[in-house]
């Protein structure tokens, strides 16, 4: 069991407080009895960490052991510097690069809420901006955190003049655009 983090430190400190409260100097003191709640909490935390793995009945071992092997790479899809890196194959950790010719029209990233669409989009846009390319990022839930991260990204790359935000919900806080052009 690896000990890391604040919760483990507090658990160890509370067990130490319990050991200290067993000193004969504190015998007969009701406060010392109350102090025994601390080691009980610390021991409970460590017991929970240990038992959590075997209490979880989800069978991840047999599923995780199965990795669908990747197809043999084709030169046009696995070029090192001719496209955007989408990630790595699960079976042998080869890079998956999508050639620019396949990205010339549109790329849509779709999925359930919370699966990482915005994170993947930011990762791809960072690569595109770093190599001098352009992009249009449309996010229906664009929050200030995402907008600020993208602005920071463009600022770090020295392209802050190329960053425009169109916000139809707040025209006062938006760049202008001509829908006819």
| Residue 77, pLDDT above cutoff 70 | no
Q: What is the spatial distance between Cα 2 and Cα 18, in angstroms, rounded to a whole number?
A: 22
pLDDT at 169: 75
- Among the residue ranges 38-47, 120-129, 152-161, the one predicted with the least confidence is 38-47
Give the integer Cα–Cα distance in Å for 50 and 46: 6
Check residues 83 and 11 and name the one with the higher pLDDT: 83
pTM of the complete model beyond 0.85 = no
102-116 pLDDT tens trace: 777 777 888 888 888
73 is written with which tokens?
Answer: 């790479």
- Could you tell me the sign of the dihedral formed by the alpha carbons of 177, 110, 78, 103, in that order? negative
Domain map (residue ranges) of the chain: 6-57, 83-173
Exposure of 153 by Cβ count < 10 A (0-12 exposed, 13-18 middle, 19+ buried)? middle
| Chain centroid to CA 116 | 8
């Amino acid at each position: 069991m690896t000990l890391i983090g604040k919760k483990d430190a507090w658990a160890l400190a509370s067990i130490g407080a319990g050991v200290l409260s067993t000193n004969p100097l504190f015998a007969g003191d009701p406060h010392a009895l109350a102090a025994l709640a601390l080691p009980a909490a610390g021991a409970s935390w460590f017991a929970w960490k240990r038992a959590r793995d075997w209490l979880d009945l989800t069978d991840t071992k047999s599923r995780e052991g199965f990795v669908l092997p990747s197809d043999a790479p084709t030169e046009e899809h696995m070029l090192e510097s001719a496209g955007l890196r989408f990630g790595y194959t699960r079976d042998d950790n080869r890079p998956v690069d999508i050639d620019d010719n396949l990205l010339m029209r549109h790329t849509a990233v779709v999925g359930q809420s919370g699966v990482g669409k915005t994170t993947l989009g930011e990762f791809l846009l960072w690569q595109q901006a770093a190599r001098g390319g352009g992009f249009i990022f449309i996010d229906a839930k664009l929050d200030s955190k995402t907008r600020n991260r993208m602005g920071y990204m463009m600022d770090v790359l020295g392209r802050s003049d190329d960053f425009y935000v169109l916000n139809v919900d707040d025209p006062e806080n938006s760049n202008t655009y001509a829908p006819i052009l």
